[in-house]
Structure formats: structure tokens, C-alpha cells
Amino acid sequence: MTKLRVAVIQAGSTLFDTPATLDRMAAHCEAAAAEGVQLAVFPEAYIGGYPKGLTFGAVLGSRFPEGREDYLRYWKSAIAVPGPETDRIGSFAAKMAAHLVVGVIERDGATLYCAALFFGPDGTLLGKHRKLMPTGTERLVWGQGDGSTIPVLDTEIGRIGAAICWENYMPDLRQSMYARGINLWCAPTVDERDIWHASMRHIAYEGRTFVLSACQFMTRADAPEDYDCHQGDDPETVLIRGGSIIVSPLGEIIAGPVHDREAILTADIDLHDVIRAKYDLDVAGHYARPDVFSLYVNEAAREPVSFFW
């Protein structure tokens, strides 16, 4: 199977209300299924939410009690992987009969991780990727992933992997995924800036891979009334404006960008275009110089405590 219909879903969360977000996701998946897609990608932190504009009661050197309450509320809206929420998401994939990639906030004990989950067309949870490097103040509320969750999954529709938001700016991560033969590069994000499109086009062109970048569209109305957001309280204020795109292996935008509304963007692609594009540039093959450069990837899970007997 080389010819596919793929989609990115530009949608926002109902912040701090995961059941409501899952209901919204069900409707988006139903609409994508009607488009006949075989792969759908949802944005970063779609399940669990991206609380843009929230300070979590922190200044350099101090954390205040209201921030601890914000963290507790955020933790409560996160999900276990696997768990009942992933079972429900899997049912969406099965109903679509499509592969599904979705950004979530994963709860592991008291620590939260920004993650991307991969589901097969039968609803099976195929794997997960935890964001390696949270950006800026994300580091206050998210832990760091390790090398054990940077998969490129070999599926019947191609080799699927994900890099979340500014992870896409990590050259070594990109090269490790190119070396695994990725041809469906999923980039869940909340980066709404125009320069993001240049980055997605660069990755597609550098890696000779299809890039599917799904960004949230979120307004103040998607957050609760007691959300202390520095952008203000006008329900129509746009917190994340979208800008989702799909890019070909030669860096051409083939769907999007779309701003300021929810949308499903689709494209009909041919994975043979990856091979055609690598004719003159394969950065993990004939264009690499292993006699000069080397990259080592530690895929071991890093547990903070190990018990022996």
C-alpha cells in the first residue's frame, strides 16, 4: 500500500475536562472517517490540554499555593497510558478503521509527560513517544522522556513516528528518526507561528518524508471561567490560532495552512514519492558520512530507582 489519504485534525481541547474533550474527539474522528482517511493526526496535548497563558503560580525562585492547585487540576485531567481513556481512543481508531496519532498529557505517578500515542486501525495501542525536551516553562509541569520511547513504527501504511513541537528542532533526534526509515513524520504542536511552516518544510525536504503537523485551535471559551489566563477573559480571545499543514517529501505544502478555526485537512499521497525524493538526498544513507560523523542513541528506559534481590 503506497497511495494513502492522510489527515491532520486542527482542534482544541476543553481544558481541564477530559471527558468533554474525548466527546469532541469522537466527533472529529467520525468526520475524518467520512473523508476516508487512513491516518489521522491530532495536536500536541490534545487530551489533557495545553494551558496556554497559565503561570502555575511561579516566579524564579518561588512557587505559590495557587500554582500547586493549578498543577493538581492539570494532573487530574491527565490520563494513564494504558487506561480507560486510551481504550476509548482506540475505539475511535477502530471505528475509523484508520491509524491514529494523538497528543496527550500522560500521568505517571505524580509526574506528567507530554506524549504522543499511536493506535492501529483495530484500536490497538501500538506505542507512545514522550517528549524529550519540554520548552521554556513547560519544564515546570512536564517531565522529560528518554530514549525508550522514540519509536518509528513499521505499519501497513508506512513507517510512522512523531516529534512533538520544538523537539523538531533537535538535529540528533531528527537524524535518529531518519535512520529508522520514517516516511510519515507526525508533528503534533501548539506552535502557531508562521516560521513553524518553514521548519516543517525543512524537515520534509531534509528527511525526504511526508510531514503531518497538527496544531490546536483554542479560544478562551475552551477554558473554565476560573482560568487565570494572562490573555484576559474575553471568550472570543484566540489562545492558539492553528496553522496545521501537510508537506510532501520535496518540501511542498500540499494541505493548509488554516488559521482561526477548527478544520480537518486531508491529502492524497504516494509513499513512492519518498523514494523518488531520496534519489539525490538520503541523509541517513548515501548522503551520510559515517567515516566522519557518528550518532549513538541510548534506547534504555531510565528508571529513577532500581530494585534488586
User: What is the number of helices (H) and of strands (E) in the chain?
Assistant: 7, 15
Query: Three-state DSSP class for 188?
Result: coil
Candidates 204, 196, 210, 211; CA nearest to 259 is 196
Long-range contacts of 176-180 (CB under 8 A, 24+ apart): 176/150, 176/295, 176/297, 177/150, 177/152, 177/207, 178/206, 178/207, 178/209, 178/283, 178/284, 179/284, 179/295, 180/152
Question: 76 catalytic, yes or no?
Answer: no
The residue whose grid cell reads 476509548 is 88
Length of the chain: 309
CB atoms within 10 A of CB 186: 28
Question: 167 catalytic, yes or no?
Answer: no
- Per the residue annotation, which of 52, 128, 131, 278 is the catalytic one? 131
Q: How far is 219 from 261, CA to CA, in rounded Å?
A: 10
- Per the residue annotation, which of 44, 85, 106, 192 is the catalytic one? 44
CB atoms within 10 A of CB 68: 13
Question: 131 catalytic, yes or no?
Answer: yes
Helix axes 171-179, 195-207, angle to 10 degrees: 40
Q: Cα dist. 231→218, 219, 222 in Å?
A: 13, 10, 13
8-state DSSP, 255? E
Q: How far is 171 from 242, CA to CA, in rounded Å?
A: 25
CB 207 within 8 A of CB 174: yes
- Per the residue annotation, which of 29, 114, 165, 186 is the catalytic one? 165
Residue 130 is placed in which grid cell? 514522550
User: What are the catalytic residues?
Assistant: 44, 131, 165
